[in-house]
Structure 1
C-alpha cells in the first residue's frame, strides 16, 4: 500500500558503505614476487634481453618507487645524482641507476603470449593478490564503494573505473576494475548498481546479517534495499529521481523552493524514504529505521553571515557520517603517490595498488626496510654529473677566500700533479701543492 508522504516543515554524496564492529590494521599489499620475477625475466627474454632479476632487486625496486612518492624529484634520474640539492643516499646505496632502468623497462605481471579478452589482463593478478591479502583483514564496521570514470566538467575527466569496497577509515577490503561484460562480478538481474554492491560483498566474503551498507545514488534502488533486508543487512543510500517510480514525493524543482531543513517522508513496508532540502534536494532510503526522527545540523547563512541550526533527518546524518571511506582512501593514495612514470598503460594501476595505504610513516618504514635489507651498494661511484662539475668550477674560479691550508695529512694526492701533499684549498677542500695552487684556480 502506497501511503501519502508526510510533510515536515522543515544530501548529497555519491558512494556507498556497509557495517559490524571490528578493528583492523593497515597493511602494505606488496605484489607476489615469485610471479613478478618469472614474468619480468620472461618478458625481457621475449625482447631479446637478459634481465636475471632477483627477488632482492625486485623488492629494492618497490622500495625506490615508494620513496619517490614522498621524496620526489622532477626527473627520476636525479635520485642518483651527486648534486647535494637532489641527491638521495638511500637510493644510490641500494641500486645502480642503469639497473633500475633495466628493471622498469621489463617489469611484468603476466605472460604477454597468453593474452585473453580481459582488458585488464596485464594487471589482473595484481588485483587478485591484493584482494586475497585484504580478506585476511577483519571487515570494519563501515565500508564504502566507488569508481573511477568519465566525469564531465572535471579538470581530469577520464580514469580507470574501479569498484571499491572500503571501510569508513579508508581501508579497501575489495576492489574490482570495471571492464564491461568482462567485469568479474555476479549478475543479479537487479541492475548494475545492486549487482556491484552484492557482487563486492560476495567476493569480500561478507557474511549476511549484522552489516550496514551505505551507497550512493549510482547504486541505490528500492529493489536493492529489499534484497538487503532479505539478507538481514542494513542498507542506506541516496536515490535518483528516476528510481523512485510511484513514490508520491513533491517534484525536486518545487521542493527546492521550500526553506532549508524542510523534509517529507514515507514509511513503506520496512523502508523509510526521506526527501530533505539543504543546498540541494536529497532523497535517501533506509531499512535501518522504521520511524522518521530528526537531529540538528549547522549550516552557513549567507545573508546573516552566521552558522544556523537546521533540522536534519537522522538517516541522512548517519549516511554522511559513514560514507567517506573511498574518498578517504583516494586522499591517502594521492598524498604520497609514486612519482616515477612509465609509458605502460597499466602503470597507474600498478602505482595505485602500491600506494593503497594511509600512513606516511608506514610507507617510509617499508621503503627503508626494503632498501636496507635487499639493496646492494655499488662497488664504485658513477661519473660526476655535468651539473656538479659546473657548480665546482663556478666556486673554484670566483677568486674569493681561496687560501692554502696545512691539513696535517701527508698522504693526500695533489689534484693538479698527483704528488703527495699536506696542503689543500681551505674553501674548495681540494688537496694541492702550494706551487700548484695558483694554476688550479686560474686555469
Structure 2
C-alpha cells in the first residue's frame, strides 16, 4: 500500500456521528474510549497504583482539553488518570475533561463531597471486581476521607503520600519538620487513629515525606542503603515498613507509560482526537504483550521482546485469512494396485496428503 493511499483511507476514520453533536467534550472519541475500557484485562491483581499519564499533543485544535504540566516529560497533552497493576497492565483510565471528567460515573451523596483527586480514585476503583486489594496513590489524590471511604464502603485498602494541609489537625500530633531534621537522616514519627484504623507516618530522608495507610504502619523498621555525602559511601538508613510498601508498589502507571513511550505510534493529524486513538492502541498492544509475557513466564520458552511482538502482530493483521488447501483429486495410482488389498498400511509423510484409495 502506498503512503498516499494510506493517508486517503485514514481521512475517513471517525468514531462518532458528527451530525449529532453531544455536550461531552470527548464525544468525537468517546465510543471508542468506552469500548477500550470495557475490554481491558479482566484477570485482576491484588495491588494497583493510580497516577497521571499524559497523552502527548502539541496542536492547538483541542482547545482547553490540552493541559500543561511542566513536571512531565511530555509537557503538553491530554491528562489521563490511569489505574494499573504492578505488572504495568492498564486496567482502567479516565480522561480529564473538567466538568465532563465524571460524566458517566455515578457517585453517592458521600462521594460527591470528596475532592477532585479523591473522586478520581473512587471512580477508577468502581471497576475493581475483586475486593480486599490495595491501591497506591500520591499526594495529589490523598485525603483522610478518601482512605476511610475506600476501606469502609468499598472494602479496599490504601496507601499514599499526603499533603500537610489535608491532615485535619493530625499534623499537630506529629513532630515538626525541623525536629525530624535535627534527629538526622532516617528519623520518623507515627500517629495511629484506632477509631478509624489509620496510620500516619512522617519520615525524613533527603526531605520530609508524610504517608497515610489503612493496612500498614511504621513497624517493623528496616534498613535501606543511601549515599552519604559526608562519608562518601553508602550507609544504612532506618526505613519504616510503610515506606518500603509504597516504593515497591507505586510504579505500575510509570511502567505502563514507559512501555508506551518505547515504541509510540506516531499519528500526525490536524484532528486532536487521533492522538487519543493512537494512545489507546499502544495501551492495548502493551497489555497484550504483558499478558503474553506473564503466560510464558511459567514455561521454559523465552518470550518475544516488545518490539518483535508488535512487528509480529502487525504482520498477522496484514495477512489475509488462509483459504482451504486445494487438493488434486486425480489419482495417479493404477486401479489394480489400489484394490489389491496388499500392503495398505498408514504411513507418516512430511507433506499434506489424502488417501489414495478413496
Report the TM-score when normalising by structure 1: 0.59
**Cross-structure match for 2:189:** 264
Contact 1:236 1:287 in 2 (8 A): yes
1:115 equivalent in alignment to 2:115 = no
Name the CA distance, whole Å, in 1 between partners of 2:79 and 2:307: 26
Report matched runs for 1:240-389 at 5 Å.
Answer: 240-247=163-170, 248=172, 249-252=174-177, 255-269=180-194, 270-289=197-216, 292-356=219-283, 357=286, 359-373=306-320
* 1:165 counterpart (68, 71, 83): 83
**Cross-structure match for 2:10:** 104
Contact 1:258 1:277 in 2 (8 A): no
Show CA shifts across 1:399-433 (max 9, x none). xxxxxxxxxxxxxxxxxxxxxxxxxxxxxxxxxxx
* 1:197 counterpart (121, 130, 141): 121
Report matched runs for 1:45-84 at 5 Å.
Answer: none
* 2:51 counterpart (138, 146, 163): 146
Which has the larger displacement, 292-301 or 238-247?
A: 292-301
After TM superposition, give the deviation of residue 235 of structure 1 in Å: 1.1
Contact 1:265 1:292 in 2 (8 A): no
Name the CA distance, whole Å, in 2 between partners of 1:154 and 1:289: 30
Larger Rg: 1
Show CA shifts across 1:42-65 (max 9, x none). xxxxxxxxxxxxxxxxxxxxxxxx
Name the CA distance, whole Å, in 2 between partners of 1:150 and 1:264: 36
After TM superposition, give the deviation of residue 324 of structure 1 in Å: 0.4
* 2:38 counterpart (122, 132, 138): 132
Name the CA distance, whole Å, in 1 between partners of 2:177 and 2:106: 34
Contact 1:294 1:311 in 2 (8 A): yes
**Cross-structure match for 1:227:** 149
Show CA shifts across 1:148-179 (max 9, x none). 35323656432211111111111110111011
After TM superposition, give the deviation of residue 98 of structure 1 in Å: 2.1
After TM superposition, give the deviation of residue 304 of structure 1 in Å: 2.2
Q: Tell me how large the CA RMSD over aligned residues is.
A: 2.1
Contact 1:273 1:283 in 2 (8 A): yes
Show CA shifts across 1:112-136 (max 9, x none). 11111111111111211111111x5
Contact 2:218 2:240 in 1 (8 A): no
Name the CA distance, whole Å, in 2 between partners of 1:282 and 1:206: 32
After TM superposition, give the deviation of residue 106 of structure 1 in Å: 2.0
Question: What is the aligned residue count?
Answer: 278
Contact 1:165 1:200 in 2 (8 A): yes
Contact 2:49 2:136 in 1 (8 A): yes
Name the CA distance, whole Å, in 2 between partners of 1:284 and 1:268: 14
Q: Does 1 or 2 have the higher relative contact order (CA < 8 Å, sep 6+)?
A: 1
Classify 1:139/1:191 alpha carbon distance in 2 versus 1 (closer, same or farther; 3 Å): same
**Cross-structure match for 1:427:** none
Name the CA distance, whole Å, in 2 between partners of 1:175 and 1:96: 35
Name the CA distance, whole Å, in 2 between partners of 1:251 and 1:347: 49
Classify 1:124/1:258 alpha carbon distance in 2 versus 1 (closer, same or farther; 3 Å): farther
Classify 1:304/1:100 alpha carbon distance in 2 versus 1 (closer, same or farther; 3 Å): same
Name the CA distance, whole Å, in 2 between partners of 1:253 and 1:172: 40
Classify 1:290/1:276 alpha carbon distance in 2 versus 1 (closer, same or farther; 3 Å): closer
After TM superposition, give the deviation of residue 256 of structure 1 in Å: 4.0
Q: Could you say what secondary structure the match of 1:367 adopts?
A: helix
Contact 1:301 1:307 in 2 (8 A): yes
